[in-house]
Structures are given as C-alpha cells and as structure tokens.
Amino acid sequence: MSFLNKIYNWFLSNYIKVIVFLTILIAIYGVYLYFFFINQKKDQTSGDLFMNFYNTYSDLSFNEQLYKDTFDQISQIDDSSIYIVMLKSINAKEFVKNEDLDKALIELSNAREILNSKNQNFSFLKEIINLRMANIFIVLEDLESAKNILEVPFSTNLVNKLILQGDILTKENNFIEAKQKYNQALEKTANESQKKLINLKISTLMK
C-alpha cells in the first residue's frame, strides 16, 4: 500500500507535468500521422499518374508529350519519387532504341542518384539500372566504366552481372576467365532461356 500511496502522492504533486507531457506526446503522434497520410496520398497520386502513362506505353508506342506531362506532374508532387525513377528508366530505353546512348546513360545515372537516397527496399531496381548502364558502356567500348559499375554487390541479378562480366572479358580477349564467368552464371541460373544464351556465348568462345 505504501508503494501505491507514493505513486498517488507523486501524481497529485506532478499531475500538471504529466498532463503536459501526455499532451505533447499526443501532439507529436498527431503530427506524425498527418505527414504519414499526406505522404501516402502523394504516393497514391503519383502512382495513379504513372499507371495512366504506363497503360498507354509499349515498345511500339511512346507518347512523348504524355511522358513529359506525367513527368512534370509527378515532379511537382515529389521530384525524388520512385515513379520518377521508373519514368527515367523508360525514357532511357527509348534513347537506346534510337541509338542515343549518351542520353540514355544520363537518364539512368539520374535515376540511380534518386535510388541512392532511398532505403534498401529498392536495391533490386538499382541493380537493374546498374546492369543497363554497364551494358551501354560495353556497347560504347568503355570497358573500365562497365567494370566499375559491376564491382558493387548484386543479389537478385547476380546471373546477369556474371554474364556481363564474361562479355567484358571476351572483348578483352581473356577467353579463359570469360568462360569461368559464364560457367558461374550457368551454375546459378534455373532459367532455360538464360542457359541457352550462356551456352551460346561459351560455344562462341570455343571456336
């Protein structure tokens, strides 16, 4: 009882401090919820805008004006949105299709910068962008830049990384190590299409 009495007496003498503390705590939580729901609303709006564009997009149909309008609208909401990253990736694909590789690299580099500010939830997307950049550098014969990009750890796209590393070694006429990379990729993949591609690359080395 004495312990309960102490608590009761302490509360009586400090109830104003307790009320102030609880009020501040509730206010902070209320502000947190407000900004949380605001961000959720922004993400939903950006997502809807992106999907409206994406539903019209195909390899044979790229509406440049709709792309620009969608990009501007999402940028006004959040210029570091993940949907900006995806839009830049699509635009880079169009630049590659039109053989404007320098502009494609700029778009992919900007997309990667946005992802660098995000948490690890988007690491798979960063890996895809790194692979695409490395592939472009290989086409441009800038093998050192391609190597530098592929030095970072990969998890979900390790097979594709190994294939590109094999491609680089092939271009350097280092056929023994290229074959080793291709064999490593072959061991790690269960995808039949990838296996056929890798075996084709290996058979080309053997000629």
- What is the Cα 168 distance to its own chain's centre? 24
pLDDT digits (tens, 9 = 90+) for 68-102: 999 999 998 888 888 899 999 999 999 999 999 99
Comparing 45-54, 105-114, 116-125, 172-181, the range with the smallest average pLDDT is: 116-125
Does residue 162 carry a pLDDT above 90? yes
Q: Could you give the residue ranges of the DSSP H alpha helices within 117-142?
A: 123-139
Averaging pLDDT over each range in 12-16, 28-32, 40-44, 62-66, which range is the top one? Answer: 62-66
Average pLDDT, stretch 96-118? 92
What whole-number distance in Å separates Cα of residue 117 and Cα of residue 113?
A: 7
What whole-number distance in Å separates Cα of residue 104 and Cα of residue 12?
A: 69
Does residue 32 carry a pLDDT above 80? no
Q: What local confidence, expressed as pLDDT, does residue 96 receive? A: 93
What whole-number distance in Å separates Cα of residue 113 and Cα of residue 82?
A: 11
| pLDDT, the chain, mean | 83
Does residue 26 carry a pLDDT above 70? no
Q: What local confidence, expressed as pLDDT, does residue 36 receive? A: 46
Q: How many residues does this entry show for the chain?
A: 207
What whole-number distance in Å separates Cα of residue 36 and Cα of residue 49?
A: 20
Q: How confident is the model at residue 20 (pLDDT cuts 50, 70, 90)?
A: low
Tokens of 203: 């058979």
Q: How confident is the model at residue 144 (pLDDT cuts 50, 70, 90)?
A: very high
pTM across the whole model: 0.76
Say how many Å lie between the first and final Cα of the chain, rounded.
Answer: 92
